[in-house]
Amino acid sequence: GENVEQHPSTLSVQEGDSAVIKCTYSDSASNYFPWYKQELGKRPQLIIDIRSNVGEKKDQRIAVTLNKTAKHFSLHITETQPEDSAVYFCAAIWSNNDMRFGAGTRLTVKP
Amino acid sequence: KAGVTQTPRYLIKTRGQQVTLSCSPISGHRSVSWYQQTPGQGLQFLFEYFSETQRNKGNFPGRFSGRQFSNSRSEMNVSTLELGDSALYLCASRSGLFNTGELFFGEGSRLTVL
């Protein structure tokens, strides 16, 4: 079946620490993996994405890694700040255009 | 460029009724997808429309349906409402030419079923 599992469901870190969120997917044909951030009461917004021909991508304090063999990808946030507090969703786009999101991770960054 | 617009923003219905939600995508975007968001369940994919055709469908019962018009605006309909249908319904648009690319979400329609 087609499924994206996301862990952990909640994550609390101290300001300045790193945060890592992991997702696994079931369809080896999946070729695109975006991450969305949803702040409280707001709409989800894309923060970073990676395609299946790339192993890692960075954008300032945010990075995503992809392991196609193991079918998992991770979001890494370094030097966390209170404004990073939000719900983060991973997603995997299957080759047939099917879109599947993980259940979300609620990240809390304590000042 | 105007963002994705969803109407109505809030609505209350009773069990057994039906509801229609509307989504106007970003100008030029031909793909509109719909999601149900509930606490703990994340974003559940309902369906995607591209150029007036349903391109993909998630695992929801037939009570959930949608359509897309020639101007790319989309509607979703839920018939015979159940209490469990209470949720935030988000739509998202993208250019749709490829299966990748950023999804631009609307603010959602919050449905409460009593």
Query: pLDDT tens digits, residue range B24-74?
Result: 999 999 999 999 999 877 899 999 999 999 988 888 999 999 999 999 999
N-to-C CA span, chain B: 37
Predicted confidence at residue B61, as pLDDT, reads 96
Would the CB atoms of A95 and B99 count as touching at under 8 Å? yes
- Chain A residue with the nearest C-alpha to that of B99: A97
Cβ–Cβ below 8 Å for A97 and B100: no
- With contacts defined as CB-CB under 8 Å, which chain A residues touch B6? none
**Of A12, A41, A31, the residue nearest A91 (C-alpha):** A31
What is the Cα–Cα distance from B69 to B65, expressed in whole angstroms? 14
Provide the mean pLDDT of chain A: 92
Of residues A90, A94, A82, the one with CA closest to residue A65? A90
Range 35-54 of B in CB contact (< 8 A) with A = 35, 40-45, 48
CB atoms within 10 A of CB B112: 13
As a whole number, mean pLDDT of residues A37-47 equals 95
Q: Which residues pair with A90 in a beta bridge?
A: A35
Interface residues of chain A, partner chain B, Cβ below 8 Å: 6, 9, 31-32, 34, 36, 42-46, 49, 51, 89, 91, 93-104
Chain B: residue whose CA lies nearest to A106: B40
- Is the pLDDT score of A5 beyond 80? yes
Give the residue from chain B lying closest to A47, CA to CA: B102
With CB atoms and an 8 Å threshold, state whether A43 touches B48: no
Q: Which amino acid is at B10?
A: Y
Name residue, tokens 């105007």: B2
Residues of A in contact with B100 (CB under 8 A): 31-32, 49, 51, 93
User: What residues of A are in contact with residue B42 (Cβ under 8 Å)?
Assistant: 6, 89, 101-104
Distance CA B108, CA B22 (A): 10
Pick from B42, B45, B90: which is nearest to A99 by CB? B45
* B83 SS3 class: helix
* Residues in chain A within 8 Å Cβ distance of B35: 101
Asked if A105 and A87 touch (Cβ cutoff 8 Å), the reply is: yes
Please give the Cα distance from B91 to A79 (Å, whole number).
Answer: 32
Using the Cα atoms of residue A41, residue B42, residue A108 and residue A38 in order, give the sign of their dihedral.
negative
Residue written as token pair 């974003």:
B43
Work out the pLDDT band at A31, boundaries 50, 70, 90. Answer: confident
The Cα B113–Cα B99 span in angstroms is 34
Closest C-alpha to A99, from A30, A50, A39:
A30
* Average pLDDT score over residue span A91-105: 84
